Amino acid sequence: GVIEIPVVVNVLYKTTAQNVSQAQIQSQIDALNKDYNATNTDFGSVPALFSGVKANVGIRFVLDAVYRKSTTKTSWRLDDSMKKSTKGGINPTRPTTKLNLWFCNLTSGYLGYAQFPGGASATDGVVIDDNAFGTTGTAAAPFNKGRTATHEVGHWMNLRHIWGDATCGTDYVNDTPSHNTANYGCPSYPHYSTCSGTPVEMTMNYMDYTDDACMYMFSSGQKDRMLAIFSTGGARATFAQP
């Protein structure tokens, strides 16, 4: 069946706009559900070349609770302080059975960051910048389709960047092509890799760095890699449904 993940949203706000509405929070949950269940409206835009590997991951996200805290901090560094009440943040709630998301203003240039499976429970989860969270309110183009969370939750479920963080590096998924490096903006199709065999790059994959409007698929190999962590013995087996 479909894996169901309870989601706890931790909101750290300085301005009233940052004390996001329930509607903006739900817009992020809805975007995750579309992207992880192949019901995103742009799923049909995947080029024919990749139609055989585009995947319905089949993971459902359910909003479980929202915690809010006002802060005097204008922006947060990527040092996990937002996850610690002793540093002005909010501790995660039951991180072995719930996905914790933190909403805060990250230091300039950062859209989000995630902890990979196997890390400390106390810092487990995903952090999203206030301007890249959900699809309304403080979300700002070109990162206002909720896909920073789609990308970060991909990391949280063990996915690597599609270019493998190196020139023609590996993401340990065999149905994704080798990418020369990260792609930004909205590349025109086809965009050829300079790597061995010069394959067409899958720039519309959520694990690239393109704009929200230009990323709309996971591959079957990525799906397998994500689902593996929820199986018996996997790093997130505690999330699996009975």
Interaction site with ligand ARG (CB under 6 A): 111-113, 132, 143, 147-148, 151-152, 209, 211-212, 215
β strands within 71-171, DSSP E = 99-104, 112-114, 126-129
- Tell me if residue 4 is catalytic: no
Q: 128 - beta bridge partners? A: 103, 112
Q: Using the 8-state DSSP alphabet, how is residue 34 labeled?
A: H
Residue 170 touches Ca ion, criterion: CB under 5 A = no
Q: Which of 71, 131, 170, 180 binds Ca ion (CB under 5 A)?
A: 131
Minimum CB separation of residue 216 from ligand ARG in Å reads: 11
C-alpha to C-alpha distance for 152 and 154, rounded to whole angstroms: 5
Question: Of the residues 80, 129, 152, 208, which is catalytic?
Answer: 152
Burial of 151 (0-12, 13-18, 19+ CB in 10 A): buried
What track of x and - describes contact with Ca ion for positions 66 through 105 (by CB under 5 A)?
---------------------------------------x
Shorter beta-carbon distance to ligand ARG: residue 58 or 142:
142
Q: How far is CA 229 from CA 92, 116, 168, 198, 224, in A?
A: 20, 11, 25, 31, 9
Task: Single out the residue of 35, 80, 129, 212 in contact with Ca ion (rule: CB under 5 A).
Answer: 129
Q: Which stretch binds Ca ion (CB under 5 A): 14-22, 123-131, 158-166, 178-186?
A: 123-131
* Distance in Å from the first CA to the final CA of the chain: 10
Kindly list the residues in this chain that would bind Ca ion in the complex (CB under 5 A): 105, 129-131
